[in-house]
Amino acid sequence: MPTFAELRNKAAKMADATGSKITSTRDRMQSQPSKKINWDPDHVKPKPPPPPKPPKPLPPPSRTSSTSSASTVATSQVKPPVPLRRAGSSASPTPSLTRSISQASHSSSTSLTPPLGPPPVIRRDTRPDSVSPPPPAFRSTPSLPRIAEPQAEEADIDRIDWANLSPEDKQIFFSWLDEFFAGYLHVPVPPRTTADTVKNVKVPPGGHTPPPMTGPPQISTGSRPKTPPRPKFGGPSSSDPAAFTMSYPPPTEHGSAGADLAHYFSPHTHWSSAWYADGDRVPPPLKGNGHIAYAGGWESDGRTQTVSGGVLFSDLSMCWYSVSWPQHALSTHDANDTRTVQRRAQYLPCPLPWPRERLVDAHETYGETIAGFAESFEGGDQPCARGECWDLAHEALKYFEQYDYVPKPIQSISRTHGHLIYEGKASDKGRTQLGRWRGGDDRVRRGDIVEWRSARVGTGPLSWSMLGNPDHTAVIVSDMVPRTSVADGMMVRPAEMGTLEVIEQSLGTPPKRARYDLSQFQEGEVWIYRPVGMEAYVGCSQVAPKCPEGMNALSV
């Protein structure tokens, strides 16, 4: 334990250390008095000297200076165009052109010289011999009368009447040329005679030869390579609806297939046989016709027999006909005798295109059901009906027969499936395309039906799909808005339509989804139909042997 004396010594040492620290801190923190500092509170910092003036630019070059100097100054004095202001950006100030002008002026002025008059005469004798060898020395020959003493001025040369040189002058002139090229090419040239130079030249009265040809000689185009044909998108045929025809439906003579059949039953049409009295009793124009829906029948009252029939054609025109003749008439009777054989026929022409409201209403009635019917077979191994492509659309339209509250749609007749919306064709690997829009709707809708004929559609850089052998049917399952505005009767190329998304099947291939871009349509034909009600569009609810009462049908 420390003693009292040790504690007192330790406290004294601590007091000395504290005092020395305080003194040291006071000395460090002590500042110099203001009176000892040479400081002027009113002192103002002098302004910096002005910058030296830029040297005075040199005067612009004279108009008589060289072409290169003038073009340099002219280029430097043209202001650049003001940039356009874009949204969200601020306009930047126009850059100054002072520096570029002064530099251009300086560089141009150094090469300027006062005009020295016309350019010096070029000495032809100083031209190197390597450019062309000198012509051989001419032999002594008589000089041409008109060009023996050429003048220095070019105007004198222009006054030589070259068209009226005499045969002797021409002989001398061409002999000079022969002598020159013989020495230049080192090829001997036989001596020329007057007959070789001028042959069969007849000078008309007056002493002037016929004027020379004014145009160049004709060039033979037989060996010119043939250029590939250009697309005919804008040709006359693409804008003329009357010049646009398709292979389906078959062409008609009187505007519709129904009218053609009605004219066959006209009393003025000659029949070669009494076809109605025996056999299948089908009119000859209908035999072998696979583009119809037909219903026929016959009846007898004991004295008269009557054969009747009703036909719905693929162009959706209709015709009803009947033939009556005596029941006990011989089979060899005259079919053209109007006293014993009575012919009658009535028909409905092709229906007109519908406006947009009716087409949209038909889509809302049938479209979704038809598309859903086709999609129900997608992804499975079971095909629809026989597995033919046509069966998918045909069975979808027949599906409405089980719903009595829905108006029956037009059934598939050959390759027709309702109201025609669009028809188009392509050839020459797509270089030629034609098409026409029909009806008032502005798009292809889900549930529409597409028909192809011998079609080829590109699916990649080196791949394509062949649709139809010759025909192929598919159900559209997605709307397609054309790439251009459309209207009834407007000519629209397939490339302007868009991409079709469909459900399709074929023999050996179950139903599947596919997409076809019509801009890659290269060959063949295409039709697009809108399923519509039979009675609403055609005017008759079904095909029957007799025309319904009250039908506003036409007669021949």
What DSSP designation does 223 have? T
Is residue 316 included in any domain, yes or no? yes
Same domain, 330 and 427: no
Same domain, 334 and 389: no
- Identify the domain boundary among 348, 371, 394: 348
Same domain, 447 and 498: yes
- Mean pLDDT, to the nearest integer, of 323-335? 89
Q: Which amino acid is at 441?
A: D
378 near 512, Cβ under 8 Å? yes
Is residue 102 included in any domain, yes or no? no
Q: Residue 508 contacts by C-beta under 8 Å, 6 or more apart in sequence?
A: 387
Is residue 305 included in any domain, yes or no? yes
DSSP states of 101-131: HHHHHHHHHTT-----SSPPPP-GGGS-TTT
Same domain, 335 and 442: no
Same domain, 389 and 316: no
Indicate the pairing of strand 342-348 with strand 554-555: antiparallel
Structure tokens given for 341? 């054989």
Same domain, 462 and 410: yes
pLDDT in tens, 496-521: 999 999 999 999 999 999 999 999 99
Is residue 485 included in any domain, yes or no? yes
Going by pLDDT thresholds of 50, 70 and 90, the confidence category of residue 383 is: very high
- Please determine, for residue 86, whether its predicted confidence score (pLDDT) is greater than 50: no
Same domain, 301 and 381: no
pLDDT of residue 131: 47
DSSP states of 21-69: HHHHHHHHTPPPPGGGS---TT--PPPPPPPPPPPPPPPPPPTTS-HHH
Q: Residue 358 contacts by C-beta under 8 Å, 6 or more apart in sequence?
A: 440, 532, 536
How many domains does one find in the chain? 2
Going by pLDDT thresholds of 50, 70 and 90, the confidence category of residue 330 is: confident
Cα–Cα separations (whole angstroms), residue 410 to 12, 232, 347, 385, 393: 126, 36, 18, 19, 12
Distance (Å, rounded) from C-alpha 547 to C-alpha 347?
9
The phi and psi torsions of 503 (rounded to 5 degrees) equal -110, 125
Same domain, 332 and 361: no
Q: Taking the model in full, what pTM does it have?
A: 0.59
The phi and psi torsions of 48 (rounded to 5 degrees) equal -70, 150
Is residue 135 included in any domain, yes or no? no
Same domain, 519 and 408: yes
Is residue 207 included in any domain, yes or no? no
Tally of CA atoms within 13 A in the half-sphere of 42 that contains its CB:
0
Is residue 211 included in any domain, yes or no? no
Q: Residue 82 contacts by C-beta under 8 Å, 6 or more apart in sequence?
A: 94
Same domain, 342 and 372: no
* Structural domain range at position 385: 356-531
The phi and psi torsions of 131 (rounded to 5 degrees) equal -65, -50
- Mean pLDDT, to the nearest integer, of 154-176? 71
Is residue 273 included in any domain, yes or no? yes
- Identify the domain boundary among 301, 322, 348: 348
pLDDT in tens, 296-315: 999 999 899 999 999 999 99
